[in-house]
Amino acid sequence: MPNQIKQFDFLVLGSGIAGLTFALKVAPHGKVAIITKKHRAESNTNYAQGGIAAVTSKEDSFEMHVRDTLEAGAGLCNEEIVRTIVEEGPARIAELIDLGMRFSEREIPRSNGARELDLGKEGGHSKRRILHAKDVTGREIERALLAAVAAQPNIEILENHFAIDLITSQKLGDEGHNRCLGVYVLEKSTQRVETFSAPVVLLATGGCGKVYLYTTNPDIATGDGVAMAYRAGAAVANMEFIQFHPTCLYHPKAKSFLVSEAVRGEGGVLKTIEGVEFTDHYHPLKSLAPRDIVARAIDSEMKRSGADHVLLDITHQPAQFIIERFPNIHATCLQYGIDITKEPIPVVPAAHYQCGGVLTNMDGETEIVGLYAVGEVACTGLHGANRLASNSLLEALVCADRAAQRIISHPVPPSEARIPEWQSGNASNADELVVVSHNWDEIRRLMWDYVGIVRTDKRLQRAQSRIANLQAEIQEYYWDFIVTSDLLELRNIATVADLIIRSALQRPESRGLNYNLDYPNPDPDWAQRDTIIRNPI
Ligand code: FAD
Ligand code: SIN
């Protein structure tokens, strides 16, 4: 029996901070479906620790936040966008608090018990400006936003629904300006592919940490949004700038556990396994230098000494302070037998954040009419060649609002196009599932070894030819067999891996997160140039 097309006014792909914020803003204007591939809270947002950067203190200024962002971005940020996002931040934070978000507070000294927001510090920030909820900021954001969404009758959340591909006018053979008409979605419990249509589709699918073997990201982060937008013909920008977080817990049983930069903000110091500080050789800000510099410093110390990790030491702080400020990090490390109040934490760098993504303006508009992108999936120009810590939650919050305001003031008219049903392969062969898991592991290891913190053209070219072979194999498999979420994610990580490699090969310089030994310095000619890739459809 043919599936009926499910019609909405707004389709939101993803239920992290970007998708939920946008959904709440547009809900008074029409019916919203939030399509999310696992449980509604499962997102990078949910694991955010450090907090949200915003100017809320008298000691701070927009100018200083702008300067720190530009400095971290290594010459590639778009200053107008940086300024807009920084300046709109405080108003969006106030709305989040009104919605029920509980940030950590502290008592104002000599004030008879009056309280103010507690501000944390992270790498590259010249002031304390990170609003946080202890060390579980993201969990608290998801709680507050999901509670607000639950109270909105116009919003339907569809969990375990995997967005496969965007439906566009060009794919249907229309040669006019490309327009997004809807999405094909795998309903995981029935394994059926459903068709959703709406004049507005928001990509809020987050990042792609799972493209790498070691990552701080949860399993959802497979770059689906970038891969879908690329297949649909949208421009994808600056994918070479993958941020490696310097301090992921190093323990054989710990999967992807981040040790927040806020630990260094509160005095934590990086040391070699012999207990010697080393970051002073790399930057005057030592352990709190911008992230690209600290991650490279650790990588180079590990290569020099042959050690498989370094240490992060905060034991000089009082135990009670550590436990109150970092309850989640303390408890999690304790589970692995590490008492962070008494001993240093073994850490390694791991893939953390995608600075590039689907090219948008600051209202989330892509090159495809009706298709918007907000949050980690998007490349607005805020982060440039390296994101300043805690600027991503800020960007998602501000740009979700801007996209919603833009759409409300300039509604996209519904389309008359007839959307065909999904055509499925008709074979399933359990024996072949090994191909999926093998290729998945191979891509992630290849990216870690050849397209990691330090690159060379030769390694990038090797990686490119292997990914091309894997893509051919995956494509064949894709058309022959019934789609599963594992196969869809494999196809997407292969596409994103290819985009990262092609972008890195296009940039003949080292800048921010793109460090290439064949061109060890920045090239002034590339200072304001984005690497942009479009699928020739
Ligand atoms: P996400 O929160 O990742 O949400 C993506 C959503 O899309 C999820 O619901 C996912 O299931 C869904 N999805 C993905 N693909 C599909 C598909 N095909 N179909 C349907 N649904 C799909 N940033 C900061 O600013 N401050 C921090 O302190 C901070 N700490 C971090 C700590 C960790 C461990 C990590 C991993 C990241 C951290 N970041 C931090 C980065 C920040 O959390 C993310 O950039 C941000 O949360 C991204 O929000 P988002 O809404 O764009 O995407
Ligand atoms: C952290 O807490 O170290 C993560 C902050 C970020 O990624 O912005």
291 has catalytic annotation: yes
Q: Whose CA is nearest to atom 4 of ligand 1?
A: 16
- Three state DSSP letters for 379-413: ECCCCCCCCCCCHHHHHHHHHHHHHHHHHHHCCCC
Quick check: helix, strand or coil at residue 88? helix
Taking alpha carbons only, the member of 108, 102, 107 closest to residue 136 is 102
Mutate to test the pocket of ligand 2, among 47, 258, 270, 355 (most ligand atoms within 8 A of CB): 258
In this predicted structure, the answer to whether residue 414 has a pLDDT above a threshold of 90 is no
Q: Rounded mean pLDDT of 430-449? A: 88
Q: Whose CA is nearest to atom 14 of ligand 1?
A: 205
CA of 145 to the centre of ligand 1 (A): 14
Radius of gyration of the CA atoms of the chain, in A: 23
CA of 394 to the centre of ligand 1 (A): 12
| CA separation for the pair 184, 202 (Å, rounded) | 14
User: What is 57-85 written as a DSSP string?
Assistant: STT--HHHHHHHHHHHTTT-S-HHHHHHH
Mutate to test the pocket of ligand 2, among 245, 392, 395 (most ligand atoms within 8 A of CB): 245
pLDDT in tens, 217-246: 999 999 999 999 999 999 999 999 999 999
CA of 334 to the centre of ligand 2 (A): 21
From the alpha carbon of 392, which atom of ligand 2 is closest?
A: 8
Q: Whose CA is nearest to atom 34 of ligand 1?
A: 47
| CA separation for the pair 66, 88 (Å, rounded) | 12
pLDDT in tens, 21-52: 999 999 999 999 999 999 999 999 999 999 99
19 φ, ψ to 5°?
A: -65, -45
* Domain 433-525 in CATH 1.20.58.100: yes
CA of 358 to the centre of ligand 1 (A): 15
CATH of domain 246-349: 3.90.700.10
Q: Give every strand in the sheet of 52-53, ordered side by side.
A: 52-53, 130-131, 119-120
Ligand nearest to the CA of residue 290, numbered in listed order: 2
Whether ligand 2 lies within 6 angstroms of the CB of 50 is answered as yes
Mutate to test the pocket of ligand 2, among 215, 352, 390 (most ligand atoms within 8 A of CB): 390
pLDDT confidence band for 2 (50 / 70 / 90): low
pLDDT confidence band for 424 (50 / 70 / 90): confident
CA of 319 to the centre of ligand 1 (A): 31
In this predicted structure, the answer to whether residue 439 has a pLDDT above a threshold of 60 is yes
Q: Looking at 92, 264, 291, 444, which residue is catalytic?
A: 291
| CA separation for the pair 365, 381 (Å, rounded) | 13
Residue 244 DSSP one-character state? E
Whether ligand 2 lies within 6 angstroms of the CB of 329 is answered as no
* Residues within 6 Å of ligand 1 by CB: 13-19, 35-38, 42-45, 47-52, 137-138, 162-163, 204-207, 216-217, 220, 224, 258, 353, 375-377, 390-393, 396
CA of 260 to the centre of ligand 2 (A): 6
Q: What is the model's pLDDT at position 443?
A: 98
Taking alpha carbons only, the member of 422, 400, 495 closest to residue 200 is 400
Q: What is the model's pLDDT at position 428?
A: 66
- Three state DSSP letters for 468-485: HHHHHHHHHHHHHECCCH
Amino acid (one-letter) located at 237: A
Residues contacting residue 145 through CB under 8 Å, at least 6 positions apart: 17, 20, 21, 24, 99
Which CATH number does the domain 6-101+132-240+355-409 belong to among 3.90.1150.10, 3.30.70.980, 3.40.640.10, 3.50.50.60? 3.50.50.60
Q: Rounded mean pLDDT of 353-364? A: 98
CA of 392 to the centre of ligand 2 (A): 9
Enumerate the CATH 3.50.50.60 domain ranges in the chain, comma separated: 6-101+132-240+355-409
Beta carbons of 165 and 411 less than 8 angstroms apart: no
Stated pTM of the model? 0.97
In this predicted structure, the answer to whether residue 1 has a pLDDT above a threshold of 60 is no
Enumerate the CATH 1.20.58.100 domain ranges in the chain, comma separated: 433-525
At CA 306, angle to CA 303 and CA 312, rounded to 5?
A: 80
Q: Of 243-252, 374-383, 425-434, which range is least confident?
A: 425-434
- Output the CA–CA distances (angstroms, integers) from residue 410 to 113, 405, 413, in the order listed: 48, 8, 9
- Output the CA–CA distances (angstroms, integers) from residue 361 to 67, 72, 90, 358, 378, in the order listed: 21, 21, 21, 10, 9
Enumerate the CATH 3.90.700.10 domain ranges in the chain, comma separated: 246-349
User: What is 305-373 written as a DSSP string?
Assistant: H--S-EEEE-TTS-HHHHHHH-HHHHHHHHHTT--TTTSPEEEEEEEEEES-EEE--TT-B-SSBTEEE
